[in-house]
Amino acid sequence: MKYQSQKIAWWFFATCMLLFTLQLVYGFIMAFAHAGMDGLHAYIPFHVARATHTNLLVMWLLAGFMGAAYYIIPEECERELMWPWLAKLQLGALVATGVTAIIGFHFNWWEGRKFLEIPRPLDFLVVIDVLAFIANIGMTIWKGRRMTTTSMVLFFGLLMAALLYLPGMIPTDNQTVDSYWRWWVVHLWVEGVWELIMGGILAFLLIKLTGVDRELIEKWLYVIVGFTFLSGILGTGHHYYYIGTPRYWLWVGGLFSALEPVAFLGMAIYAIAMAKRGGRHHSNRTALAWSIGCSVMSFVGAGFLGFAHTLPQVNMYTHGTLVTAMHGHMAFWGAYAMLVMAIIAYSLPLLTGRDLQNSAAATFAFWTSNIGMIAMTLAFAVAGITQVVLERRMGLEFLAVQSEIEVHFWGLILAATLFTVGILAYLWVFIRSGLPVGPVDADDSAPATVA
């Protein structure tokens, strides 16, 4: 860490840890409800738990991206952050808005649109908050001493993510039109502009952790960004198959979304190739594990498991079932949760001056959470495929099928427990690393040990 203002990132990361932990609590509430133990129903009905679980996820990932940007941008631009006070204010406002939304859900104050449940007045606060964030990093880049490809890709990813929040706010009382715009936010985020954020953060981590030349890493970044847009934009059509939109979406969506895994495969090959090429070894092996792990798990979760249900002939049966939840978990985990875990694992020793990344707890956290997530994905897959066969192929009634598949949720609870143990170990390392200190006079890109 070279700049005083990078310290702000720690507060965003601490927010991530808090919201992530709370997200898991709501995951368990739903898993038990699915297993037939819905004792909390009167206070936290399933839809409330679900909206809380997914909105907390989006909120902590956004806090993680912002923290990552506040850490990376000063270093890339070689100057202090433009307005450190604004970053603090903006974090406070983000948390206040998020907490209000979450409490609101529990009192039935919500919009009922999957992933965009936050009530409209709060949407405006989110927009203002994100604009303040964009202005802060934008001005830092503008006034900076250099403009790198990594910082530009990260910046445009964040800017476009902010702009793409707006279509979700277009008022309409038509279900199809509402669904149409909702996917501009949900799909074009995770299968479009968030991939730029992922590419930017991964490029930064690979430059620092592998010692490979910036020119080479950034050249491949362009190729991946190209693939992402080529497939991801028209790939939105895989959500337009049967919602009342024209029939040509069957072809367009099927074809282009089938190409989307290429971008994720490219990202995985890229990260592995750079790690192999880097002859030097950085001391923070755990951060490298999270970075490579992110690229590999996102290919499996988003690329492979996304492809599994993206063709219209398959999606006709799997749409909106637990097959979607299977894919959603591993995709979000691999691509975006692991990305935030990677940048935290990398920056934490530099922010706090205490390096616990080579401890047994840090290694344990990586493996246990990943094995737990793979097991969770399998549990959702078994439940999902059974649901599709019984409900969609054999025509059994929805609730009859739900009670038929209850047993698989005990498997999910077991897997989720393993996952949670891993996350608690990560949290332990985070807490033990302590509070941020002033700039540590260390060259982050220098290898601590030479192979």
The footprint of ligand HEM (CB under 6 A) covers 24, 27-28, 30-31, 34, 50, 53-54, 57, 114-115, 186, 190-191, 238-239, 257, 260-261, 298, 302-303, 306-307, 309-310, 315, 319-320, 322, 324-325, 327-329, 331-333, 335, 337, 416, 419-420
CB 258, min distance to Fe ion, A = 12
Q: Residue 165 binds which one of Fe ion, ligand HEM, none, with CB within 5 to 8 A depending on kind?
A: none
* Three-state secondary structure call for residue 244: coil
Q: What are phi and psi of 233, to 5 degrees?
A: -65, -55
Asked whether 415 and 249 are in contact (CB, 8 A), the reply is: no
CB 294, min distance to ligand HEM, A = 10
Report which residue's Cβ sits closest to ligand HEM.
Answer: 306
Total residues contacting Fe ion by CB under 5 A comes to 2
- Amino acid at site 269: I
| Part in contact with Fe ion (CB under 5 A); list of ranges 104-112, 186-194, 397-405, 413-421 | 186-194
CB 448, min distance to ligand HEM, A = 31
- Amino acid at site 318: T
The encoded tokens of residue 170 equal 């277009």
Q: Residue 34 binds which one of ligand HEM, Fe ion, none, with CB within 5 to 8 A depending on kind?
A: ligand HEM
Residue whose CB is less far from ligand HEM, 313 or 449: 313
The encoded tokens of residue 115 equal 């992933």
Euclidean distance between CA atoms 296 and 278, whole angstroms = 18
Question: Under 8 Å CB-to-CB from 176, ≥6 apart: which residues?
Answer: 243, 244, 245
Q: Residue 377 binds which one of Fe ion, ligand HEM, none, with CB within 5 to 8 A depending on kind?
A: none
Q: Residue 202 binds which one of Fe ion, ligand HEM, none, with CB within 5 to 8 A depending on kind?
A: none
Asked whether 226 and 232 are in contact (CB, 8 A), the reply is: no
CB 114, min distance to ligand HEM, A = 4
Asked whether 15 and 91 are in contact (CB, 8 A), the reply is: yes
Q: Residue 309 binds which one of Fe ion, ligand HEM, none, with CB within 5 to 8 A depending on kind?
A: ligand HEM
Q: Does 329 bind Fe ion (CB under 5 A)?
A: no
CB 60, min distance to ligand HEM, A = 9
Pick from 286, 450, 413: nearest CA to 356: 286
* Three-state secondary structure call for residue 28: helix
Q: Residue 91 binds which one of Fe ion, ligand HEM, none, with CB within 5 to 8 A depending on kind?
A: none
Using CA atoms, how far residue 62 sits from 9, 65, 194, 293, 362, in Å, is 12, 5, 10, 20, 23
CB 45, min distance to ligand HEM, A = 13
* Largest Cα–Cα separation, the chain: 66
Q: For the chain, what is the total number of helices (H) and then of strands (E)?
A: 17, 0
Q: Does 182 bind Fe ion (CB under 5 A)?
A: no
Contact pattern for Fe ion over residues 188 through 207, marking x by CB under 5 A? ---x----------------
Euclidean distance between CA atoms 233 and 74, whole angstroms = 31
Q: Does 327 bind Fe ion (CB under 5 A)?
A: no
Euclidean distance between CA atoms 109 and 119, whole angstroms = 7
Residue whose CB is less far from Fe ion, 34 or 187: 187
- Binds Fe ion by CB under 5 A, chosen from 53, 79, 182, 187: 187
CB 46, min distance to ligand HEM, A = 8
Residue 433 burial (CB count, 10 A): 21
Residue whose CB is less far from ligand HEM, 216 or 269: 269
The encoded tokens of residue 236 equal 């939105």
Residue whose CB is less far from ligand HEM, 28 or 428: 28
Asked whether 404 and 384 are in contact (CB, 8 A), the reply is: no
Q: Residue 297 binds which one of ligand HEM, Fe ion, none, with CB within 5 to 8 A depending on kind?
A: none
Residue ranges in contact with Fe ion by CB under 5 A: 187, 191
